A and B are shown apart, each in its own frame.
Chain A
Amino acid sequence: MDLNDLAPRNGEWLRGDGSDADIVISSRVRLARNLADFPFCSRADEAQRRDIENKLRTSIGDVHGDQSLIFFDVGRLDDLDRQFLVERQLISRELASGQGSRSVAIAPREDVSLMVNEEDHLRLQVLHSGYSVRQCWETVNKLDDLVEERVTFAFSEEFGYLTACPTNVGTGMRASVMLHLPALSMTKQIDRVFRALQKIQLAVRGLYGEGSQASGDFYQISNNITLGKTEDAIISNIEVVVPTIVNYERTARRSLIKENKQTLHDRVSRAYGILQAAQTISSEETMALLSSVRMGVNLNLIDDVRIDLINDLFIHTQPAHLQKLEGRPLEGEDRNIARASYLRKRLSEIHRTKPPTDSQAN
């Protein structure tokens, strides 16, 4: 399989179903692990990094049962391909921008990604559509067990799984849920939510992780603490919080409908109109408008668009995806023109009864 085959499709996590999928986009759990008999990546030279890769590659090749994993040598991919994998949430920015031998093994459905030689020797990630963080943990835990039958991980009884960065030591686990919170953002109640989250030691980040702005009103909520709590307790903490935030968002949407239906309907319809008609459009504006349209679809203010198409467009209008889909490099204004034209094409297709090339059906 080639990366270009992935471009027109979509990962499992963007399917747009699963429970509370109108607000909870996706759930993810990742585990950080290191081989016990190698230095951490920062102290390993290229020969050692290759040894680590070989050792892990033979150990993880068949852990995913009948779905065989696809390996990518990230060090050999060009910038566009690396950016493409970041946009799909299959590799971290750190792996993309790293140095030396490093790779990723991806399940064809894109729900599993195993990164080798990132900050730690192995990062196991399971990513699902909707609100399914416990299911992600169960799946990644099984994968971890299988890998563990073949290699010995660095572990101490006192500090747990030993990681290159002390912020991950212990369980090595980061569990996160991605939420779409346009009404809370619009009504400026989002700060209150953040404040509540901080009290219970959860972190909030944007769509593409640390430091990135919450573009498109997407917020990732994840645990800060990895030492001194069980995996189950970490998941439970998130399970307590997510339904509360989902309810806040629903309440905010309801009161917007009740008090400002015309204004809201106008905002959503204008957003939809611009996306269907613009001749040039930036990534930021696209994200903001798609966010409004997404909420509009969920509130039945727009009835001719399916939510999975909108989910699709969030990713397909990102720079690397756009260039892959267009099959040529695009810079600056050319990219904005191509983005607008892509949006017009995809949004006009829905008015035909039968889209001729519906490659999105998965």
Chain B
Amino acid sequence: MKQKCQVCGERAVIHITQIEEEGAASQLHFCYRHAQDYLKESDNPSSSPASGSSEEEGVPETSVACPVCGMTFAKFRETGRLGCPNDYEIFRTELKPLLENIHGNLRHVGKVPKRLPIDARRQTELIKLRQEIQQAVAIEDYERAALLRDQIDSLEKEEKRPSE
């Protein structure tokens, strides 16, 4: 029962309950790109949809891929799912207007875990190594996969040490 974007037919990831002036509630379904367009329009009713494209110039879409998981922003737009925690860093410029649209806020004020990642670099290193294993196994380079597995194990052991 997956909903499709009503503009382009891609998988919809944003669902909006629209209330008509007098009528019933209607459901709108959009992919990220078209949700952004839609929200922009409804925030600013005077601008026609066609003029929307000029506003995009301010934020050129990056073709950068996340060095940790290989995700690109174009791919994110297509699927609506990010690839790893590091994507919030890599695509920060592109994500901020999106987060602002969805949440109206940009800063977390809620619960903070008692155990913060001790060293964020070590966490991303682990993800990177895991992705490399995935590739090594895909080309049947099991020697390299075993080597990577050892590296992961030793990093995980460091992670478990309470403090240094």
Q: How does the 8 Å CB contact mask read for B14-56 relative to A, with 1 for contact and 0 for none?
A: 1101010001110101000000000000000000000000000
In whole angstroms, how far apart are the Cα atoms of A141 and B111 in the complex? 9
Of A144, A166, A231, which contacts B99 at CB under 8 A? A166
- From B82, B85, B123, residue with most partner A Cβ within 10 Å: B85
**A346 on the interface (CB 8 Å rule)?**
no
**B113 on the interface (CB 8 Å rule)?**
yes
Q: How does the 8 Å CB contact mask read for A98-130 relative to B, with 1 for contact and 0 for none?
A: 000000000000000000000100000000000
**B62 on the interface (CB 8 Å rule)?**
no
Q: Which of A152-160, A260-268, A296-304, A312-320 contacts B (4 or more CB under 8 A)?
A: A152-160
**A248 on the interface (CB 8 Å rule)?**
no
Q: Is A34 a contact partner of B103 (Cβ separation < 8 A)?
A: no
Scan residues 15-54 of chain A and give those whose CB is less than 8 A from a CB of chain B: 34, 36-43, 45, 47-48, 51
In whole angstroms, how far apart are the Cα atoms of A203 and B106 in the complex? 20
Q: Is B105 a contact partner of A36 (Cβ separation < 8 A)?
A: no
Q: Is B69 a contact partner of A43 (Cβ separation < 8 A)?
A: yes
**A191 on the interface (CB 8 Å rule)?**
yes
Of A42, A48, A155, A212, which contacts B117 at CB under 8 A? A155
Q: Is A194 a contact partner of B99 (Cβ separation < 8 A)?
A: no
- Report the interface size class on chain A: 35 or more
Nearest neighbor of B21 in chain A, beta-carbon distance: A195
**A348 on the interface (CB 8 Å rule)?**
no
> Which residue numbers of B lie inside 8 Å of A, CB to CB?
1, 3, 13-15, 17, 19, 23-25, 27, 29, 68-71, 79-85, 88-89, 95, 98-99, 102-118, 120, 122-123, 126-127, 130-131, 133-134, 137, 156, 159
> Which residue numbers of A lie inside 8 Å of B, CB to CB?
34, 36-43, 45, 47-48, 51, 93, 119, 141, 144-145, 148-149, 152-162, 164-167, 169-171, 173, 191, 194-195, 198, 201, 203-204, 210-212, 224-231
A sample of 14 inter-chain contacts (CB < 8 A) reads A36-B85, A45-B134, A45-B137, A48-B134, A155-B112, A155-B116, A159-B88, A166-B98, A167-B13, A170-B110, A171-B108, A211-B15, A225-B104, A228-B104
